[in-house]
Amino acid sequence: MRIELYQHYTGSAAEQVVGTCEVSDAPVAQARRLFDERVRKVAFTEPVPLADGSSRHVLDLLRELAAWGVHVDWRASGSPVGWPQFSHLPPPTSADGSVDLGAWRAGFFPGKCVFREGPGFIQIRDRRRGALDCYTVDEPALMSAIRELSGGAEPRSCEPDAVEQFLEHGLLVRAGQLQWWAPARVRRWPVPAMVA
């Protein structure tokens, strides 16, 4: 999928396309590179199918760009009934099917589903269901699987027991043919560690 790159946020008088590129097979590294190159807005030129396994890298890039604070302009298609599992992503400008865009827009806030790595643990905070679900992971096999999945690995290449646990808790989203790691890597913790 092709994306358009901007160096200014939406609404800026200087907003103009400064380049285009394809979504990479390494979307985590691509998001960082785009941020380092001062890209501040990315527009996806085609609708993103939410229940298609081929959209995993596109969703990874959406998640990572949002974590870097880059504005994303995108459209959702093939909306699954379970669209709230994607509600931590910035709301799309349009969607078809069962997606309630009004509810998505009203309920969105940055940091809704994030993880951070500390010394010997990974903490995940997920508010997509309304209440805070907080997980502290310190088992090496689970930590390794989180690192792999958040880096863009295919779930089938990861430890099967870890994948099952993440699916059970909704951290690994299953929608149609898609299995996708949901939590975004938080760059700066916005509140003290002991505050919910």
Q: Has residue 195 been placed in a domain?
A: no
Q: Where is the domain boundary, 107, 122, 144?
A: 107
Residue 141 and residue 128 in contact, taking contact as beta carbons nearer than 8 Å: no
End-to-end Cα, the chain, rounded Å = 37
More confident residue, 21 or 100: 21
Are 122 and 174 contained in the same domain?
yes
Are 117 and 75 contained in the same domain?
no
pLDDT digits (tens, 9 = 90+) for 67-107: 999 999 999 998 667 789 999 999 999 988 778 899 999 99
- The kind and range of the H/E element at 27 are helix 27-36
User: b/e map of 81-114 (b: 16 or more CB within 10 Å)?
Assistant: eebbbbbbbbbbeebeeebeeeebeebeeebbbb
pLDDT digits (tens, 9 = 90+) for 38-68: 999 999 999 999 989 899 999 999 999 999 9
Distance CA 190, CA 45 (A): 32
pLDDT of residue 188: 66
Q: What is the CATH number of the domain that holds 44?
A: 3.40.50
More confident residue, 192 or 165: 165
User: b/e map of 3-27 (b: 16 or more CB within 10 Å)?
Assistant: bbbbbbeeeeeeeeeeeeeebbeeb
Are 28 and 120 contained in the same domain?
no
Tell the residue number behind the tokens 């929608």, with chain if given.
175
Are 124 and 97 contained in the same domain?
no
Q: Has residue 93 been placed in a domain?
A: yes
Are 8 and 95 contained in the same domain?
yes
Distance CA 40, CA 10 (A): 9
Are 117 and 101 contained in the same domain?
no
What domain range is 38 assigned to? Answer: 2-107
Within 10 A of 50 (CB to CB), how many other CB atoms are there?
27
- Cα dist from 56 to 26, 45, 74, whole Å: 11, 16, 15
Q: How confident is the model at residue 193 (pLDDT cuts 50, 70, 90)?
A: low
Are 150 and 103 contained in the same domain?
no
Single out the residue of 37, 151, 12 nearest to residue 3, CA to CA: 37
Q: Has residue 121 been placed in a domain?
A: yes
pLDDT of residue 187: 75
Single out the residue of 145, 183, 187, 188 nearest to residue 63, CA to CA: 183
Are 121 and 65 contained in the same domain?
no
